[in-house]
Structures are given as structure tokens and as C-alpha cells.
Amino acid sequence: QQQKQATGASNSNGLPSCVDRHDILGGKFKPVMTELSPDALSYLFRDVTVGGTYTPDSCVPKEKTAIIIPFRDRSSHLNILLLNLLPMLKRQKVDFTVFVIDQQLPSIFNRGLLFNVGFLEASKLGPYDCFIFHDVDLVPINDLNFYHCNDGPTHFISGVNKFNYSLLYRDMFGGIVSFKKKQFLEINGASNMYFGWGGEDDDLRVRVVRRGLKIVRKYADIGLYDMIKHGRENSNGKNPVRGGLLKLAGKRQDSEGLSTIRYKVQGVDLLPLYTRVTVTVNMTE
């Protein structure tokens, strides 16, 4: 039994189950922080099928993963992220599809709401078990930071170059998190009420903790990221009411979130390396 677990039991195709290969993956790598054109990228990753899906062919993955990227006007970040993230996911034998959830102007950017859109729209397109919500400007630099869902919602970051490879505070739940489908449903998704920068990730943590789910965190030398440098967009200024919203996060959890989201899908495009979901949000609804 022990032996079988270590090598992965084989299934009906005769292929073994995919297992985390701590033994053969290299650990830390140096990311390439320069941009390739979308054409060059899609040529480089021609084994990724249209819409941004990749399935390993040497083993049977244990879960189907949707990588959800909240997005607006950051194509150069996206090109850099894909250049580094896709090879790592392939090395890790992750079965994934990349979704870019693109919020149109003029509404103020709303990262939490886009998590909910990503979850709902991806679920219409495939039987995903695992959702990894991923900022576009965070580039992973360690192969051993496995992109999975776990028994608890998972925070992938133990350190970012911007903070000397540490976190700003211990409880941080921003940047990159994963949820099993059941876990995200259980917390009623993210809050839709945070327009602008800040607080939505702390609200999400409150939702997780209030449901008694235990957050899984990465070891200090594993969850490492390099952030692509950028400024703050006018359409995502600091949210002046985030403190007040956060105080009542727990009270709102059941009455506001995945169950009450309102948005309009303007288009779903299957591009070579990702599925783009274009959405508009009416801030007064």
C-alpha cells in the first residue's frame, strides 16, 4: 500500500495517478520577467489547447483546476505571468484551464466580485473541482509550490520580493488562494461590495474562518513570488469605505456574496492560452 501511494496507483488506462514529484522538481527557479508577444507565447505553448486548457498525458490528475485571474488592462503582466506559470503547472502535472475575468470600464475595479464571476462562469464551462484565484502580477518562483486544492482553503504566498520574501502580516489571505468547489460554496464566495483597492481579501479570510475552515499555508521557503512592478490605477484607487465594510464582514456573509452577485457577461472568448470572460458591473445595482 505504501509503495502504491508513493508511485501512484494506476487506473483503467494503465496510467499512474499524478503525484507531487518533490524528488525530481528543481525547487527555486529564476523567472523570466520580460514579455513575449501573444503569438510567440501561443507558439511556445502549442500543447495548451484553445481556451487555455492543459491535461498531462503521462498520469491521471486527481483534480480539474480552474486558474481564475481578475483582470483589467494588464496584458503585459499577463504575458509575463503565463510565460512563467504555464511551464511550472506543466512540470507539476496540473490539469488546468486559465480564465481571465476582464472587468470593463467605467465601473471601479472589484477583485472579489471577479472571483465570484470566475467561479460561476468556469463552472458553466467544465466540471472544475479546484479554483485558484491568481493576481496577474505575482510570478511564482518555486516549482515545489504545488498548485492544488487542499483540505482547507489555501494561501499560496509565504513571501514576495517586495517585502524581502516575507508577508506584510501573518494572517494575509491576498494575492493567490485556492478553494475546492465545496469550500467556496460553503463560504458564499467572496463579497461583491469592495470597489477599489483593499480589504476584499481580509473579508474573504473572515468568511473562511467563520465557517470553521482551516487555512492551509505554504512553508516559508516554498510559497515565494516575484511581483511585477506597477503603480496604482485610477480605476482601482484605495477604497475609502473598506474598513467599515470589513468590520461587518461576518454579518454580511450569508446575505451577500456568490448567492447575490449581479453582473453581465459581454463575451466569452476562447483564446489560445486562456478563456477570456468579459464582464460589466453596474455599481448602482
User: Which residues does the annotation mark as catalytic?
Assistant: 135, 137, 197, 200-201, 227, 230, 232
Q: Which three cell numbers stand for residue 164?
A: 524581502
Q: Hey, how many other C-beta atoms are within 10 angstroms of the C-beta on 3?
A: 7
Hey, which residues between 73 and 102 contact ligand NGS (CB under 6 A)?
none
What is the DSSP secondary structure assignment for residue 236, as one 8-state letter?
A: G
φ/ψ bin of 262: left (φ > 0), alpha (ψ from -120 to 50), beta (otherwise): beta
Residue among 130, 246, 258, 261 that touches ligand NGS (CB under 6 A): 246
Residue 110 to residue 130: CA distance in whole angstroms: 22
Residue 28 sits at φ, ψ, to 5 deg, of: -65, 140
CB of 238 to ligand UDH, least distance (A): 9
Contacts with ligand UDH, 194-233, as mask; x by CB under 6 A: ---x---------------------------------xxx
- Which among 206, 161, 162, 171 is positioned nearest to 187, based on CA atoms? 206
- Asked if 249 and 203 touch (Cβ cutoff 8 Å), the reply is yes
* CA triple 30-53-149, angle to 5 deg: 70
Q: Which residues contact 76 (CB under 8 A, 6 or more apart)?
A: 35
Hey, which residues between 29 and 88 contact ligand UDH (CB under 6 A)?
69-74
Residue among 201, 217, 261, 263 that touches ligand NGS (CB under 6 A): 201
**Partner whose binding site includes residue 231, from ligand UDH, ligand NGS, none (CB under 5 to 8 Å by kind):** ligand UDH
**Partner whose binding site includes residue 207, from ligand UDH, ligand NGS, none (CB under 5 to 8 Å by kind):** none
Indicate the residue among 18 and 176 with the shorter CB distance to ligand UDH. Answer: 176
Number of residues that bind ligand UDH (CB under 6 A): 17
Number of residues that bind ligand NGS (CB under 6 A): 8
According to DSSP, the residues that pair with 142 across neighbouring strands are 28
Cα–Cα separations (whole angstroms), residue 74 to 18, 79, 80, 149, 166 = 33, 9, 10, 26, 25
CB of 201 to ligand NGS, least distance (A): 5
**Binding to ligand NGS by residue 137, rule CB under 6 A?**
no
CB of 165 to ligand NGS, least distance (A): 13
Site for ligand NGS, rule CB under 6 A:
168, 174, 198-199, 201-202, 242, 246
**Residues in contact with ligand UDH by the rule CB under 6 A:** 69-74, 109, 111, 135-137, 197, 231-233, 235-236
